[in-house]
Structures are given as structure tokens and as C-alpha cells.
Amino acid sequence: MDYLRRVMPSLTALEFFDAAVRCMSFTRAATDLNVTQSAVSRQIRALEDYLGQPLFHRVKQRLALTEAGETYAVAVRDLLNKAEATTVQVMAYNGKGGVLTVALLPTFGSRWLVPKLGDFIARYGDIQLNLVTQVKPFDFSGSGIDAAIHFGDGVWPGAVCHRLLGEVIIPVGAPSLVGNPSRLAHPQDVKQYPLLQLSSRPQAWLDWLHAVGVKGSEDVHGPRFEEFHMVIQAAIAGLGLAVLPRFMIQEELASGRLMVAFDRPVTSEQAYYLVHPEGKGDLYKVCVFEDWLIEQCRRADFSEPAPGQEPR
């Protein structure tokens, strides 16, 4: 098979161009790179010849990017950053360790996972753990992400899903809104209030209403928020009622900032999953994180109802 050569200038030229963009001066770029100013000029001139157009305006000994230069500078910076990050990751990898990058849901991470990570770090000090937040499912290819914690149906194209645990949802609100004890006598009474919604779970209120036997509840009215922590804060502020995973609001319930509006918990049909690309299931860093995570989940399965409460 004939090898098709990439249309790509030299890495040195791209590095010199990036330095020149940062400094907006060939002289200062040369100082940063520990080369001569003429070396920088030659590399930039060679790069412009390769591209067939100028990247800089040179006016009265001052530099300014052309329109093409501005576009190219962003792409080159991103390329160099990714190459550097991947190089560091490969250098750190020694068969047992390396960098483990995990994408996770923001509130799940901050309220449940992060407080437990000290144990993982103490056990696996050879693994550098990088956490990034990701709300929606994404394509693993080219992302640099080794695994993700996802809430849903356990279906992710091109990936393997391991069920971690379920979740119980309950309707809650500020005591100033619902009274203490709650003045709601029937599940349908929640519709007297604005119903706070999460963009990624638009059916949450309808699922709860249907599960507790409220018929004809196809319309839900109330503000919508991007993340759980915003919904929680809105509920505390008395903006409406929220239907939330019980594990996320233990502190607010214990402190009295939130109270259960109607005592009918419902077990969600969906669950939390650890997801990883098909080709990464045997990596040491992914395996030990999966085992550790399953161990933590066994200690706190959110799908179990509280005493005296029955899920659907």
C-alpha cells in the first residue's frame, strides 16, 4: 500500500510560529526559544512559503496577524497543546500507572466521587487522575478520555458499559415554600408550585408523577437549569419544587435547608454506569479504577429505599 504523505509543515516551523504569535515579536520569540532572531525569521518565511500566503503583517517593525494567521494560530496552538499532553502521558506510562482521564457528571463528581478519591489516590499513587466534566454522551475517539461516568440506559456506541448503581428520586422544596411539616396531602399537589427542571432530564417530573399514580400529568411548568447544583440552589431559594436524587441532597435535608415535599420516593429506571472504549478495558489504570469504583458503590447503593419507604 502506498503511503500518502501528510500535508504538514515541520514541527519546528509550527513551534516557532506559535512562539512568534505569543510574543508578537521575532526577537522575543527567539529569546524564548533560545535561538537567533534570524532563525525565527527563516522558519516563519518557510512556513509562509509552504502555505502560500503571509501569516503576519509587518508594519513599521511591528507584527500583526493576517486573517489567515489568526485562524492558523488557533489551530496550531491546539495541536501543540494536545501533542504535549499526550507526550507527557506516554512518558508517565510504565505499564502500571500513567495518566487516567475520567469524564464525569459535574454534581455527581463534586458531591459523591471527589470526597472519596483520597482512598483511590492512597492506594494507586502511580496513577495520575485527571477529572473533566461532561454532561452529554460523546465520541471517545480523539478525546483523550479513558473512561466516563454516565447516567442513562447503559447504551453507548463503541464502548463498554458497567452498571454501578441506581438512584432514588424524591420531590423536595424549601420549608418556606412547602411548610414544615409538608402541607401537601396528595402527590398531585406538587403541581401547585413551579416545578424546577434539569435540561438533561426533561422527563424527571413526569416520571415521578406517573410512578406515584398521578394521571394526565403531561405538562410540567417551571424554570429549567443546565446542572443539578443549580436546581438544588434554586430549590433552596424557594423558586419551586425539585425532584432530585436523594444522595445528592443528604446535607440539605439534614440541615433543614430542604425538606421532602411528598414522601413517595421512586427508583429511577436508569442508572449510573462506568463507560470505557472497547479497546481500553484491559488497561491496568482502567481496571483498577473500575474495581475501586464498584467497591465504593457497593457501600452506598442509592437505589435502596430508606426504611419505611417503598420505591415503585
Task: Residue 113: count other Cβ atoms within 10 Å of its Cβ.
Answer: 17
Contact 169, 208 (CB under 8 A): yes
pLDDT at 99: 86
Q: What is d(CA 211, CA 295) in angstroms, rounded to the nearest whole number? A: 30
Q: What is d(CA 196, CA 202) in angstroms, rounded to the nearest whole number? A: 10
The residue written with cell numbers 463528581 in the block is 109
pLDDT in tens, 273-287: 999 988 888 888 999
**Cell digits for 75?**
489551530
Q: What is d(CA 84, CA 103) in angstroms, rounded to the nearest whole number? A: 20
Structural domains in the chain, sorted by start: 11-92 (1.10.10.10), 100-164+270-299 (3.40.190.10), 168-267 (3.40.190.10)
Edge to edge, the sheet with strand 98-104 lists 127-133, 98-104, 147-152, 271-277, 159-165
- Residue 97 pLDDT exceeds 70: no
Q: What is d(CA 24, CA 17) in angstroms, rounded to the nearest whole number? A: 10
Cα dihedral 202, 203, 205, 206 sign: positive
**Cell digits for 148?**
466516563
Strand bridging mode 168-173 / 266-267:
antiparallel
pLDDT in tens, 12-67: 999 999 999 999 999 999 999 999 999 999 999 999 999 999 999 887 778 899 99
In sequence order, which residues have a C-beta less than 8 Å from that of residue 201 and are 6 or more positions away?
none
pTM of the model: 0.65
In sequence order, which residues have a C-beta less than 8 Å from that of residue 145 and are 6 or more positions away?
101, 102, 103, 132, 134, 138
Instruction: Give buried/exposed letters for 129-158 (b at 16+ CB in 10 A, else e).
Output: eeeeebbeeeebeeeebbbbbbbeeeebee
Question: Could you give the residue ranges of the DSSP H alpha helices within the chain?
Answer: 11-23, 26-33, 37-51, 67-92, 106-108, 117-123, 175-178, 204-211, 228-236, 250-255, 284-299
Contact 235, 280 (CB under 8 A): no
Q: Round to the nearest angstrom and report the end-to-end CA distance of the chain.
A: 60
Q: What percent of the chain has pLDDT over 70?
A: 90
pLDDT at 92: 56
**Any long-range contacts for 110-117 (C-beta under 8 Å, 24+ apart)?**
110/229, 111/247, 111/248, 112/247, 112/248, 113/149, 116/296
pLDDT at 217: 61
